[in-house]
Amino acid sequence: MALVRIDALHKHFGSNHVLRGIDLDIEEGQVIALIGRSGSGKSTLLRTINGLESFDEGCIEVDGERIHPHETDLRALRQKVGMVFQQFNLFPHLTVGQNVMLATRIVRKLGDAEARELALAMLDKVGLREKFDAFPDQLSGGQQQRVAIARALAMQPRVLLCDEITSALDPELVNEVLAVVKTLAAEGMTLIMVTHEMRFAREVGDKLVFMYQGRIHEAGDPQELFANPRTPELASFIGSIN
């Protein structure tokens, strides 16, 4: 049984049909790399999985939690789905530790000591334990993004969504974030990432999903697809980024 099931998903932005029937099953522990040109619907697809975007038809199921079009009660789903954003989106008025602890205390209702311990463990995982009392603007972009990962992990999600998480970083900071993601993948975390890091997608991804005009145009083993794209659209996309 797949951990994430996406079934005949359709979405419109006004007259623009951005998702045109997406079917996608994701197994526990899989690392999915979503690629495609801007406007292909890859970010929109990712954002529907935790309800940041609504959809018009179809169904999404994560670990038994089903959501239907225009669902408004998303709390249970969001506890199973973590998300990391391109712009980090740390809470600037809170320290690193408070950023990581906020939702574990409010949503998961952990006590102070327990929340603190968990936050320290998560920060340890991303190598930033000593930044517990720092404020976000005292950190580099790469460090901020690692805190954002720790914050999402502290909710102990079943799936982690990553929306172009290295796109806003200076080139020399990209690797420290990718290294964290790689560790998560190795530990068996289920990851769905929209990414432009093709080398990373090829190395770490279990499945490559190429989106084109609101549909999944091609999907399969990353090594194979990069070596032998079956469609001219994927071939031209790979050609354009190399």
The answer to whether 147 touches 84, Cβ cutoff 8 Å, is no
In terms of CB distance, is 89 or 175 closer to another protein?
89
Distance CA 168, CA 85 (A): 10
First vs last C-alpha separation in the chain: 36
Interface residues toward another protein, by CB under 8 A:
50-52, 74-75, 78-79, 81-83, 85, 87, 89-93, 102-103, 106-107, 135-137, 148, 151-152, 155
Crossing angle for the helix pair 141-153 and 171-186, to the nearest 10 degrees = 20
Least Å from the CB of residue 126 to another protein:
16
Complex with another protein: residue 67 or 225, whichever CB lies closer: 67
Least spacing, CB of residue 109 vs another protein, in Å: 12
| CB nearer to another protein: pick between 134 and 235 | 134
Question: Measured from the CB of residue 78, what is the shortest distance to another protein in angstroms?
Answer: 4
Task: Decide whether 88 or 210 has the Cβ nearer to another protein.
Answer: 88
Min separation Cβ 84 and another protein, Å = 9
Buried b (16+ CB within 10 A) or exposed e, 66-83: ebeeeeeeeeebbbbbbb
C-alpha 147/C-alpha 125 separation (Å) is: 10
